[in-house]
Structure 1
Amino acid sequence: MIVSTFTNIAAFIVAISVLVAVHEYGHYIVGRWCGMKILRFSIGFGKPLWTKIAGKDRTEYCVAAIPLGGYVKFLGERYGTGDPIPPEDEGRAFNQRPVWNRILVLLAGPLFNFLFAFIAYWILFVNGVPTMKPAVGEVADGSYAAAAGLKQGDLIRRVGGRETNDWETALVSMLDEIVGNGAVQLELEEPDGFVRRTMLTVGGDATQLTEPGMLFEGLGFQPWQPPAVLAAVEKGGAGFEGGLQVGDRITSIDGEDLNSFLDMRRIVGERPGEQVVLGLYRDGEQIEVELVIGSIESEGRTSGFLNVSIGNVVDDYWHLRKFGPLESLSQSLQRTWVSTGFTVRMLGRMAVGDVSIKNISGPINIAQFAGSSAAAGLNSFLNFLALVSISLGVLNLLPVPVLDGGQIVYHSIEGLKGSPLSERAQLLGQQLGMAALLLLMSFAFYNDIARILS
Structure 2
Amino acid sequence: MLYTLLAFLVTLGVLVTFHELGHYWVARRCGVRVERFSVGFGKVLYRRTDKHGTEWAVSALPLGGYVAMQNDPPPDATPHQIQESFNNKPLWQRAAIVLAGPMANLILAVVIYAVVGLLGAQEPAAVIAQPAAGTPAAQAGFQEADRLTAIDGQPVRSWGEARWEFMEALSSGGELTVTVQDAQDRQRERRLLLPAGEISPDERDLLAEAGLALMPPRALVQEVFRDSAGEQAGLQEGDVILKLGDLDSPGVVQFVERVQQSAGQTLALDVLRSGQLQHLFITPRAQAVNGVQQGRIGVQLGPDFDMVHVRYGPVDSVQRGFVRTAETFWFSLKMIGRMVTGEVSVRNVSGPVTIADYAGQTARIGLIAYLNFLALISISIGLLNLLPVPMLDGGHLLYYAIEAVRGKPASERMMMIGQRIGISLLAVLMSIAFFNDITRLFS
Normalising by the smaller structure, the TM-score range is: 0.7 to 0.9
Paired residues of 1:118 and 1:333 also in contact (CA < 8 A) = yes
Task: Give the direction of change, closer, same or farther, for the CA distance of 1:291–1:15 in structure 2 (3 Å limit).
Answer: farther
Q: Which residue of structure 1 lines up, in the alignment, with residue 6 of structure 2? A: 10
Structure 2 residue 61 is the aligned partner of structure 1 residue 52: no
Q: Which residue of structure 2 lines up, in the alignment, with residue 340 of structure 1? A: 329
| 1:7-48 deviations in Å (ceiling 9; x for gaps) | 111100001100011100000111011000112222333x22
Task: Return the alpha-carbon distance in structure 2 between the equivalents of residues 85 and 223 of structure 1.
Answer: 71
Q: Which residue of structure 1 lines up, in the alignment, with residue 442 of structure 2? A: 453
Paired residues of 2:103 and 2:382 also in contact (CA < 8 A) = yes
Structure 2 residue 116 is the aligned partner of structure 1 residue 124: yes
Task: Return the alpha-carbon distance in structure 2 between the equivalents of residues 337 and 174 of structure 1.
Answer: 16
- Bigger Cα Rg: 2
Query: Which of 198, 204, 211 does residue 207 from structure 1 map onto?
Result: 198
Task: Give the direction of change, closer, same or farther, for the CA distance of 1:192–1:389 in structure 2 (3 Å limit).
Answer: same
Which residues of 2 match residues 399-438 of structure 1 at below 5 A? 399-438=388-427
Structure 2 residue 299 is the aligned partner of structure 1 residue 306: yes
Which residues of 2 match residues 366-381 of structure 1 at below 5 A? 366-381=355-370
Task: Give the direction of change, closer, same or farther, for the CA distance of 1:189–1:210 in structure 2 (3 Å limit).
Answer: farther
| 1:342-392 deviations in Å (ceiling 9; x for gaps) | 323333333333333332221111111111111122222112111111111
Paired residues of 1:278 and 1:290 also in contact (CA < 8 A) = no
Q: Which residue of structure 1 lines up, in the alignment, with residue 371 of structure 2? A: 382
In structure 2, give the amino acid aligned to 1:236. R
Structure 2 residue 385 is the aligned partner of structure 1 residue 392: no
Which residues of 2 match residues 192-271 of structure 1 at below 5 A? 192-203=184-195, 206-207=197-198, 213-228=204-219, 234=224, 236=226, 240-241=230-231, 245=235, 248=241, 260-261=251-252
* Runs of 4+ off more than 6 Å: 278-281
Query: Which of 73, 76, 94 does residue 71 from structure 2 map onto?
Result: 76
| 1:425 shift after superposition | 1.0
Task: Return the alpha-carbon distance in structure 1 between the equivalents of residues 50 and 240 of structure 2.
Answer: 70
| 1:110-162 deviations in Å (ceiling 9; x for gaps) | 11111111221222222222232222135334444434433332222233443
Query: Which of 129, 133, 145 does residue 137 from structure 1 map onto?
Result: 129
Task: Give the direction of change, closer, same or farther, for the CA distance of 1:85–1:36 in structure 2 (3 Å limit).
Answer: farther
CA-atom RMSD, angstroms?
Answer: 3.5
Structure 2 residue 312 is the aligned partner of structure 1 residue 323: yes
Q: Which residue of structure 1 lines up, in the alignment, with residue 275 of structure 2? A: none
Paired residues of 1:99 and 1:412 also in contact (CA < 8 A) = no
Task: Return the alpha-carbon distance in structure 1 between the equivalents of residues 51 and 123 of structure 2.
Answer: 49
| 1:169 shift after superposition | 3.3
Task: Return the alpha-carbon distance in structure 2 between the equivalents of residues 27 and 70 of structure 1.
Answer: 12
Paired residues of 1:48 and 1:62 also in contact (CA < 8 A) = no
In structure 2, give the amino acid aligned to 1:306. V
The farther-off stretch of 340-349 and 103-112 is 340-349
Task: Return the alpha-carbon distance in structure 2 between the equivalents of residues 108 and 188 of structure 1.
Answer: 43
Q: Using the aligned pairs only, state the percent identity.
A: 32
Q: Residue 136 of structure 1 aligns to a residue in which SS?
A: coil
In structure 2, give the amino acid aligned to 1:9. L
Query: Which of 2, 15, 18 does residue 19 from structure 1 map onto?
Result: 15
Paired residues of 2:200 and 2:347 also in contact (CA < 8 A) = no
Paired residues of 2:118 and 2:313 also in contact (CA < 8 A) = yes
Task: Return the alpha-carbon distance in structure 2 between the equivalents of residues 176 and 133 of structure 1.
Answer: 21
Structure 2 residue 138 is the aligned partner of structure 1 residue 159: no
| 1:329 shift after superposition | 2.4
Q: Residue 18 of structure 2 aligns to a residue in which SS?
A: helix
| 1:453 shift after superposition | 2.4
The normalised TM-score by structure 2 is 0.81
Structure 2: 5+ residue stretches without partners: 271-281, 288-297
| 1:71-123 deviations in Å (ceiling 9; x for gaps) | 2121126xxxx964733511211111011001111111111111111221222
The normalised TM-score by structure 1 is 0.79
Paired residues of 1:249 and 1:281 also in contact (CA < 8 A) = no
| 1:412-446 deviations in Å (ceiling 9; x for gaps) | 21122121111111111122122222222222222
Task: Return the alpha-carbon distance in structure 1 between the equivalents of residues 374 and 76 of structure 2.
Answer: 39
| 1:330 shift after superposition | 2.3
Query: Which of 72, 79, 87 does residue 95 from structure 1 map onto?
Result: 87
Q: Residue 20 of structure 1 aligns to a residue in which SS?
A: helix
Query: Which of 161, 174, 182 does residue 166 from structure 2 map onto?
Result: 174
Task: Give the direction of change, closer, same or farther, for the CA distance of 1:354–1:210 in structure 2 (3 Å limit).
Answer: farther
Task: Give the direction of change, closer, same or farther, for the CA distance of 1:235–1:167 in structure 2 (3 Å limit).
Answer: closer
Task: Give the direction of change, closer, same or farther, for the CA distance of 1:233–1:24 in structure 2 (3 Å limit).
Answer: closer
Task: Give the direction of change, closer, same or farther, for the CA distance of 1:224–1:382 in structure 2 (3 Å limit).
Answer: same
Question: How many residue pairs align between the two structures?
Answer: 412
Task: Return the alpha-carbon distance in structure 1 between the equivalents of residues 87 and 199 of structure 2.
Answer: 47
| 1:206 shift after superposition | 1.4
Structure 2 residue 22 is the aligned partner of structure 1 residue 32: no
Q: Residue 223 of structure 1 aligns to a residue in which SS?
A: coil
